[in-house]
Homo-oligomer: A and B are copies of this chain.
Amino acid sequence: MGDKWSLLIIRDLMFSKSCTYGDFLKSPEGIATNILASRLQVLEECKIIEKLDHPDSKAKVLYRLTRKGVDLVPILLEINLWADKYLSIPDERKAMVKEMKRDKLGFIKAMAKNWKLEALVVAPSPKAI
């Protein structure tokens, strides 16, 4: 499951707000629908992501990183740092990389914490508030 597309899905889950099938499709790299579906399935079987019912509509599905998935953050972080040094990085991600550099451990902890918060926030629909 360490292929290009899986990595991009994980990246989107971590660093963008992407969490639905449609979100991943919109990613600039342009994944095909069949590839996306198969990768999501593999990642779910590996227990790196999990499916949740979307609070708003039955037709939507939420994807979320599991603990095993969140533990991939340090790897993605190092990849970002390397890419920042040797490749060109999209502007929108520069601030994040800067923060990674400034406080690596803090960044990782913040990510893990965000995940717990989001678990609570997602459950009740915004409309229900």
Contacts and interface: CB of A to CB of B under 8 A. Distances in A.
Given A2-B7, A4-B3, A75 B78 contact: yes
Contacts of A77: 78
Interface stretch (A19-27, A81-89, A90-98): A81-89
Give the number of times this chain occurs in the complex, counting copies.
2
Nearest to A47: B86
Interface in A55-103: 68, 71-72, 74-75, 77-79, 81-82, 85-86
A77 B82 CA distance: 13
A82 B86 contact: no
A87 to B, nearest CB: 10
How many interface residues does chain A have, given as a range? Answer: 10 to 19
A83 to B, nearest CB: 10
A4 B7 CA distance: 12
Contacts of A7: 2
Interface of A: 2-4, 7, 68, 71-72, 74-75, 77-79, 81-82, 85-86
Q: Which 6 A-B pairs have the closest CB atoms?
A: A75-B78, A74-B78, A78-B78, A75-B79, A68-B86, A71-B82
